[in-house]
Amino acid sequence: MAKTTKSAPLRGPRKAGPEATRQKILDAAEILFAERGFHSVSVRDITAAAGVDVALVHYHFGNKQLLFETVFMRRAELLNAERLRRLEAVVQRAKPRAPKVEEIIDAFTHPLLDRSARGGPGWKAYFALIAQVNNSTEFGGLMMTRYFDPVVHAFIAALRRAFPGCDERELYWSYHFLSGALTLTFAETGRIDNLSQGACRSNDLDSVHQRLVPYVAAGFRALCSRSSTTPARRKRKTL
Amino acid sequence: MAKTTKSAPLRGPRKAGPEATRQKILDAAEILFAERGFHSVSVRDITAAAGVDVALVHYHFGNKQLLFETVFMRRAELLNAERLRRLEAVVQRAKPRAPKVEEIIDAFTHPLLDRSARGGPGWKAYFALIAQVNNSTEFGGLMMTRYFDPVVHAFIAALRRAFPGCDERELYWSYHFLSGALTLTFAETGRIDNLSQGACRSNDLDSVHQRLVPYVAAGFRALCSRSSTTPARRKRKTL
DNA sequence: GTCTATAGCTTGATAGAC
DNA sequence: GTCTATCAAGCTATAGAC
């Protein structure tokens, strides 16, 4: 029993210390926010689910809004690190050429879909939360930009190399469509289950990934190849 | 002045009658729900914005939830009718062959993007609301299914004819990705403005439509052609 | 149909004992 | 760090005058 230093004080089944309390609050908040959205979950709901006192949210996080952002940030950092690692690996492996579009998209989406499928209920809830935030007028523009833009810029830089001479706007709009398709998947609303009368299931993320990558890659090629190879033939069409 | 029947009683600038009150409440609710979501908007917020009394929401709609569903339904019926008309026109024009994929997708998306772009603030808000509902764990599965599945089934039937022998699941997942890309567009969160440093603008829906159609058409072809023409080459890939 | 008034609760947040 | 106790403000909903 050499572990009696003060770096892990009183680490037992009963009293787990302030860090454990923080994590219990974050875990409970994550699930409730994902299920019902920011505004319909009260601080009391969260602390009751976490099995801690009401006042501790304000002690540890300041207020409800800051708790929300902490939930959002906690897993974003892990995700972004892995996605950048994967992207770098793909780029290195393809050198000196640019990687295939499919490989770039896979590096971007696989770490997310894999965790949502197999990371446990915390990850599942987190991605459902992302789905709501991404499509929210209130939070979408600010929070997604703040926590995910760095990794998106790296991703777009890789795609820029895959489509030399491509108009920047085609790349950004193509990414926008990918973002919408991906985050709707995270929501797992069950709508496709109803629509397909059971042929497809919202929670079958392996099926999604298998299809999302070629679908999106084809979309990128449709927009980003034509703008460089056939700029004159581009139709000027009003809506 | 032959219009003195009781079908339009007291139609003046001051007292506009109960139907006008209903519409004022719906208009205000639509904008507020779109801006801040269902739960963060109070009945008082709505009636204050509408310039009517608090109690009238309950008189006219029963409760807050039923008001929400009425807002959602009001424009859905108009939209669905026009989309079915457009789809039918495209199908008739192409007979006896199936229409081009691009034409089918255009019939599905144009009525929406056109109204969001040029229909005024009520339509704009309505589509932002759709964006949130579609990605919501709480409302998405139920409400989108209830109000939009009939038109989606007609749309998928047309695509089925365009991809004869295609696996049903490819059609449904392809539609799912379209739905995500489209509804994120409706949210107009400003994220792409930040990401592209102004090169793309969330509210430039003409640009979106010009790109969404070929992007999605290419995606559909990537998934729905291969499943019928090259079933043996289909890779069995785990996530 | 519209309004006033209010019942009955829940909310986010905090002050202060331990 | 954690808890008890409480506050002021906000909420949905309704009863009843007009």
For A203-228, write each residue's pLDDT tens digit.
Answer: 999 999 999 999 999 999 999 996 65
- H-helix or E-strand containing A158? helix A140-162
How far apart (Å, rounded) are the C-alpha atoms in residues A174 and A171?
Answer: 5
Tokens of B140: 């998405």
Asked whether residue B66, judged by its CB, lies under 7 Å from any atom of the DNA or RNA strand D, the reply is: no
What pLDDT is attached to residue B138?
A: 87
Place of tokens 């923080």: A22
For A153-204, write each residue's pLDDT tens digit.
Answer: 999 999 999 999 999 999 999 999 999 999 999 999 999 999 999 999 999 9
Mean pLDDT, chain B, integer? 90
Contact A116, A186 (CB under 8 A): yes
Contact A211, B221 (CB under 8 A): no
Q: Do A239 and B113 touch (CB under 8 A)?
A: yes
Asked whether residue B36, judged by its CB, lies under 7 Å from any atom of the DNA or RNA strand D, the reply is: no
CA A152 distance to own-chain centroid? 11
Which segment of A67-76, B34-43, B163-172, B178-187 scores lowest on mean pLDDT?
Answer: B34-43
Mean pLDDT, chain A, integer? 90
Tokens of B97: 């062959």
- Signed CA dihedral, A83, A80, A221, A165: sign only: negative
- In the predicted model, what is the mean pLDDT of residues A145-152? 96
C-alpha closest to that of A112 among A99, A138, A94, A131: A131
- Residue with the bigger pLDDT between A10 and A176: it is A176
Q: Within 13 Å and on the Cβ side, how many CA atoms surround B222?
A: 24
Site from B102, B135, B167 to mutate, A interface, most A CB atoms within 10 angstroms: B135
What pLDDT is attached to residue B233?
A: 47
How far apart (Å, rounded) are the C-alpha atoms in residues A162 and A97?
Answer: 9
What pLDDT is attached to residue A166?
A: 96
C-alpha closest to that of B111 among B86, B91, B89, B143: B86
Task: With a cut of 60, say whether residue B78 has pLDDT above it.
Answer: yes
Distances, alpha carbon B188 to alpha carbons A53, A211, B131, B183, in Å = 39, 26, 9, 9
Task: With a cut of 80, say whether residue A14 has pLDDT above it.
Answer: no
Distance of C1' in C4 from CA in B17, Å = 20
What pLDDT is attached to residue A13?
A: 37
Domains and their CATH numbers in chain A? 12-62 (1.10.10.60), 72-229 (1.10.357.10)
